[in-house]
């Protein structure tokens, strides 16, 4: 992880450091597949596993996949993730990068859990202003679609929409532009970290347990 450590210590001014930190020096992507949301079956709604595989290929990253049931207890989630992280450590990985922005409790949890395994957590985006970050990502060429929306915070009409300047202007004032409070989740199709565009079409949206899920289909 020498490349990553060098980047973290460098004062990178005037560049999209978050893009480089997200992919330079990373040897694998750690994915937790919630089997109640992410499915291989065509009739299920959610981000299809085949699309996630396309993301990994575009980012030129191998994967460590952790499959968890739905519903999943916290104890089971922690046990399965600990196994995966322990295996990663055995393979020589020393740091895990997170995209957390400002949730202190979540950051402390990640740091503590990794410390138990003798690993370090890295937060390259920590406390970046989210309104500026969202627009910086869009300006860099990043393209994404909202795949899941929390209906307690947003209308279901937002699910499936492009993550762009128009969407940002339509968000209620109390909603974080990056969805950091769980207001929405997105699927990225284009960005400087990918070597190709992942073509998708927007499919059906269903409502389930307080959330809107939009099926994104490989084009």
pLDDT in the model for residue 159: 96
Q: What pTM did the predictor assign?
A: 0.79
Residue 26 has pLDDT above 70, yes or no: no
Q: What percent of the chain has pLDDT over 70?
A: 79
Burial 6-25 (b: 16+ CB within 10 A, else e): ebbeeeeeeebbbbbbbbeb
**How many angstroms separate the most distant Cα atoms in the chain?**
48
Q: Which of 33-42, 162-171, 183-192, 202-211 has the lowest mean pLDDT?
A: 33-42
219 close to 181: Cβ distance less than 8 angstroms: no
The two tokens of residue 108 are 């402390």
**DSSP bridge pairs for 96:** 121
Residue 139 has pLDDT above 70, yes or no: yes
- 31 pLDDT band (50/70/90 cuts)? low
Rounded distance, CA 89 to CA 120, Å?
11
pLDDT in the model for residue 21: 40
Mean pLDDT, residues 40-50 = 54
Mean pLDDT, residues 155-180 = 97
Mean pLDDT, residues 71-87 = 86
197: left (phi over 0), alpha (psi -120 to 50) or beta: beta
pLDDT in the model for residue 32: 59
Q: What percent of the chain has pLDDT over 90?
A: 52
pLDDT in the model for residue 174: 96
In the chain, the domains with their CATH numbers are 2-122 (3.40.50), 130-218 (no CATH)
Rounded distance, CA 58 to CA 199, Å?
12
Rounded distance, CA 208 to CA 93, Å?
37
How far separated are the first and last CA of the chain, in Å rounded? 36
41 close to 23: Cβ distance less than 8 angstroms: no
Residue 71 has pLDDT above 50, yes or no: yes
Rounded distance, CA 194 to CA 197, Å?
7
pLDDT in the model for residue 135: 96
pLDDT in the model for residue 187: 93
Residue 112: other Cβ atoms inside 10 A: 10
Residue 43 has pLDDT above 80, yes or no: no
Residue 56's Cα: distance from chain center in Å? 12
Which residues have a Cβ under 8 Å from the Cβ of 16 and sit 6 or more positions away? 136, 140, 192
Q: For residue 121, which phi and psi values (nearest 5 degrees)?
A: -95, 140
Rounded distance, CA 161 to CA 148, Å?
10
């Amino acid at each position: 992880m020498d490349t990553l450590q060098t980047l973290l210590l460098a004062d990178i001014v005037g560049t999209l450091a978050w893009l480089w930190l997200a992919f330079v020096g990373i040897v694998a992507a750690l994915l937790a597949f919630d089997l109640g949301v992410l499915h291989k079956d065509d009739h299920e709604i959610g981000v299809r596993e085949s699309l996630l595989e396309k993301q990994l290929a575009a980012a030129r990253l191998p994967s460590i996949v952790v499959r968890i049931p739905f519903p999943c207890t916290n104890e089971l989630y922690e046990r399965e993730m600990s196994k995966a992280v322990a295996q990663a450590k055995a393979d020589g990985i020393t740091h895990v990068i997170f995209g957390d922005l400002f949730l202190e409790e979540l950051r402390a949890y990640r740091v503590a859990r990794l410390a138990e395994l003798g690993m370090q957590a890295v937060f390259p985006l920590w406390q970046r202003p989210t309104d500026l970050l969202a627009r910086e990502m869009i300006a860099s060429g990043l393209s994404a679609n909202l795949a899941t929306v929390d209906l307690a915070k947003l209308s279901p009409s937002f699910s499936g929409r492009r993550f762009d300047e128009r969407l940002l202007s339509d968000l209620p004032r109390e909603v974080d532009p990056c969805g950091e409070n769980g207001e929405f989740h997105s699927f990225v199709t284009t960005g400087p970290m990918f070597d190709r565009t992942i073509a998708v079409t927007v499919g059906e949206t269903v409502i389930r347990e307080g959330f809107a899920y939009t099926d994104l289909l490989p084009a």
